[in-house]
Structure 1
């Protein structure tokens, strides 16, 4: 079965004024669509791989045929990262972490304010295209990391809890070169209820 771009759970304009409708449409339909198209094309000659969840593909990159490994890393990662991203931003966002995740953030980062400061700093400082993530590491602890291009934390053995796309295509129409403004604005659309669900799932996986 071919991979597909998942439908958004809200209209393109739902995240305004923080993310404009034009950016959302281009980002979802064109950028994510290109990753999916390229991934499907790369797997055309490998029917045994076509029914694997994309997370399984990118978590076992070294087991893939060498001739498609880089394409799957880039485009499979792009598909996985964006599929996750659409679920973690929402017009029905909660302003602060909830549940067990709230307790973990408070204890491991010395409060939500300190966590936000550190997360923003990593996202703003990341050189070039990439992502900033809150993940659960192999020790079941929260960690803030960044990945370059479309590399996924899943490929490194992490479980993503929260993610922010800091490629220019995610913000340039509205924020131009002001990545810091974009990173700070995105707290207004982060879905902490969904992040809590990812956190609880990661703890038992």
Structure 2
């Protein structure tokens, strides 16, 4: 006959074995693998590689945000744009800029998809190319002169650009663009771009929450202030020079 003491002893041994079994695999578990690279989208539009390491913009933009922003969000825009034009070979042969400059020529059934995802692709491609640590602290050359003529000083430009960035309700971008009437500051919703209004985007700041929330949470003003530390004004100036010849 099994005694009460033997029953209690058996129960204690079983419980210890279960605990050990649950704990040992946790100790032996391998480290989480590194995030996989973004898959190559199927279609005419391609995700450009990030032109620097994920942590290249630290401490202003953190590495995790850069990885998710490029490999997930930008990749999704490219994939969805390819999906939208899959049955339209005439559109697939055009550049994304050509599509966005003439949205009225895009079939109405896919126009919103091209506007949103094409805009997301074009905007982010330019955004990556605009960011750099250790670049010029302020615009110079023809762009510097144009900014001073338009805003009075670089500091006045910063204040006006910040106002646009903080004025976005929800998701969108702040833009400096060049057009027939010269330099224009504005903010646009979602992934809309000055290209669709006949202007050349020179400088854009993504203020969707996915662009800054991991590091700055709800402190968008801090993110906007940090942005001025990583603008590659040489790249922005080159866009301005090119826009005058188009």
Give the TM-score normalised by the residue count of structure 2. 0.81
After TM superposition, the structure 1 = structure 2 runs for residues 63-78 of structure 1, keeping only pairs within 5 Å, are 63-78=105-120
**Runs of 5+ unmatched residues, structure 1:** none
Q: 1:12 aligns with which of 18, 41, 54?
A: 54
After superposition, give the CA deviation of every residue in 1:73-126 in whole Å (9 maximum; x if it has no partner).
Answer: 000010010011111111242110011111111111010000000100110121
Higher Rg: 2
* 2:89 counterpart of 1:47: yes
* Distance in 2 (alpha carbons) for counterparts of 1:184 and 1:162: 15
Structure 1 runs of 4+ with >4 Å offset: none
- Aligned-residue offset at 1:172: 0.2
Q: 1:129 aligns with which of 162, 171, 193?
A: 171
After TM superposition, the structure 1 = structure 2 runs for residues 74-153 of structure 1, keeping only pairs within 5 Å, are 74-139=116-181, 141-153=182-194
The equivalent of 2:197 in structure 1 is 156
**Runs of 5+ unmatched residues, structure 2:** 1-42
After superposition, give the CA deviation of every residue in 1:153-192 in whole Å (9 maximum; x if it has no partner).
Answer: 1011110111100100000000000000000110000000
The total of aligned residue pairs comes to 204
Q: CA RMSD in A?
A: 0.8
* Distance in 1 (alpha carbons) for counterparts of 2:196 and 2:101: 4
Give the TM-score normalised by the residue count of structure 1. 0.97
